[in-house]
Every structure is written in C-alpha cells, then in structure tokens.
Amino acid sequence: MTAKQILEEMKPLGREGYKKVLSTYGVKEPYFGVAISELKKFEKRFKKDHQLALDLYETGNYDAMYLAGLIADDARMTKKDLRRWVNQAYAGSLPGTTVPWVAAGSPHGHDLAVEWIESAKPLVATAGWVTLSCLVALKDDDDLDLPELKRLLQRVQKTIHQSPDAVRYGMNDFVIAAGSYVKSLTDFAISLGEKIGPVAGEHGKTGCKVPSAPDYIRKVQQRGTIGKKRKTVKC
C-alpha cells in the first residue's frame, strides 16, 4: 500500500473526541484523531517498512507520522533521515516519543542525542534528552559511557530550572531513566533529583504533572526492577 492509500483508510477511524485531546498537546491539522490502538493494528499489518515509514512521515499528517515511527526500520535510518524527522516533529508525541524511539534504535542514536541536546530549538533538544533516556533503557551498561551519563546528569542539575518547559520535562525523564535502568547511577540520580527538587512547567489544558524523579526511581527500587532493560521502547 502507498501512504496515500493508508491515509484514506485511516480517515474514517478518526474520533473527534481524541482530536480535541491531541489539540491540547499542540497537534494541528492535518490529522484525524486515530487512536493508538488502531495505529497498532496497522503496525501489525506492515511490520517494518522503511520506505513506507519515510513516505508516511512526509505526509505531515500527525496520525501517519506516529505510525511511521512504529513501522520504521530503525537500523536503516540515516542521520539525514533522522535530522529531517526531528525538525518536522512539531508537537504531541513526535519529539517526545516517535523520533527518540527511532533514533535510539538506529546506529546514530548517541551521536544525534548529544547533537540535539545542544539545539536552540526546544523540541529538538527535548528529542535529544528523550533519546538518551531510550538508550539507557535499551543498551547494556557495558555499552554505555557511564562517565558521560554522570556528566549529563550533573548538567541537568545545573540547567533544568532555566530550560524551556519541554526541555525540562525531557531532562527530568532522563534523570528517571538513568536512575532506573543503570544500577551504578541509581543512588546518584536519586540524590541529584532531591537537589533539583520539584520540576514545574506550563502544561496548558492537559492537566499533566511532572513526576518527582527520586520518588519514581524509589518505586522502581521497591518493585525490584532497577537495571532491568527493555527490548523495545516503542509502544
């Protein structure tokens, strides 16, 4: 199937109620408001399809862009592809999940993450921090640069409260991920999170709250799952 045919199939699946929810996260036309559960059905049909994922993302339709992340063949994504995707990730889950998921699964995840966190564009920087979170969730500790991660955590402590809202949320998630998925950083992340204190920001009409990093990590400790890696970050 072509991207155009998939859009035609998606359109009647859209729900006005879900469209209104997505709009509170900054999602704009064109989009249909297709539930993620419906997009997952497309994922099961198409599995991994590199070219179709690229074509879907280029439509600019939010639902199609989200689906593109689900069916992307991460290993085949080039730095050029991923840079184009991150610059087109304008709202919603695109900079916070879709692009980081694919970047982390590609051979370029680390390089692009450290590049993106330096961006003056808040959503690009956010994608960088979330990509780092995905990497620590996926990679064995032996494959991670632990001194670098510690330096990045220290950077978060120094800069999080002066950063734009979206970047602040991404940084907070990185503290949680580092403390939850890297055993040797757990105590450090909890201590650092306590020093950071509450992380606040403008959520518009979403009603979302920023989780306390140390409290979240302690809950992971109580479950006995510190250091348990994930097979995939896509959901």
Give tens-digit pLDDT for 96-133: 999 999 999 999 999 999 999 999 999 999 999 999 99
Residue 77 corresponds to which tokens in the numbers above? 């994504």
Percent of all residues in the chain with a pLDDT value above 90, rounded to a whole number: 94
Residue 192 within any structural domain of the chain? no
Q: Are 68 and 98 in contact (CB under 8 A)?
A: yes
Residue 23 within any structural domain of the chain? yes
User: What was the pLDDT predicted at 189?
Assistant: 98
Residue 57 within any structural domain of the chain? yes
For the chain, counts of helices (H) and of strands (E)? 14, 0
User: What was the pLDDT predicted at 206?
Assistant: 53
Measuring CA to CA, how many Å separate 222 from each of 36, 37, 118? 30, 30, 35
3-class DSSP assignment, residue 92: coil
Residues in the chain: 235
Residue 201 within any structural domain of the chain? no
User: Given the structure tokens 């950071």, which residue do they identify?
Assistant: 196
Question: Where in the sequence is the domain holding 64, given as residue range(s)?
Answer: 1-72
pLDDT digits (tens, 9 = 90+) for 194-206: 999 999 866 555 5
User: What's the structural domain count of the chain?
Assistant: 1
Going by pLDDT thresholds of 50, 70 and 90, the confidence category of residue 235 is confident
CB neighbours (10 Å) of residue 16? 9
Residue 226 within any structural domain of the chain? no
User: What was the pLDDT predicted at 208?
Assistant: 66
Give the separation between CA 5 and CA 27, rounded to whole angstroms.
22
Work out the angle at residue 147's Cα, subtended by the Cα atoms of residues 187 and 196, and round it to the nearest 5 degrees: 45
Long-range contact set of residues 16-22: C-beta below 8 Å, sequence gap at least 24: 22/62, 22/92
Going by pLDDT thresholds of 50, 70 and 90, the confidence category of residue 174 is very high
Residue 15 within any structural domain of the chain? yes
Residue 195 within any structural domain of the chain? no
Evaluate if pTM is beyond 0.85.
Answer: yes
User: What was the pLDDT predicted at 202?
Assistant: 61
Give the separation between CA 111 and CA 187, rounded to whole angstroms.
27
User: What was the pLDDT predicted at 123?
Assistant: 97
CB neighbours (10 Å) of residue 128? 27
Residue 164 corresponds to which tokens in the numbers above? 């734009």
3-class DSSP assignment, residue 230: coil
| Section 54-66 average pLDDT | 98
Residue 188 within any structural domain of the chain? no
Going by pLDDT thresholds of 50, 70 and 90, the confidence category of residue 24 is very high
Residue 21 corresponds to which tokens in the numbers above? 């929810």
Q: Are 81 and 55 in contact (CB under 8 A)?
A: no
Q: Are 66 and 46 in contact (CB under 8 A)?
A: no
On average, the pLDDT of the chain sits at 96
DSSP code at position 73: -
User: What was the pLDDT predicted at 209?
Assistant: 78
| Section 223-235 average pLDDT | 96
User: What was the pLDDT predicted at 84?
Assistant: 98
User: What was the pLDDT predicted at 196?
Assistant: 97
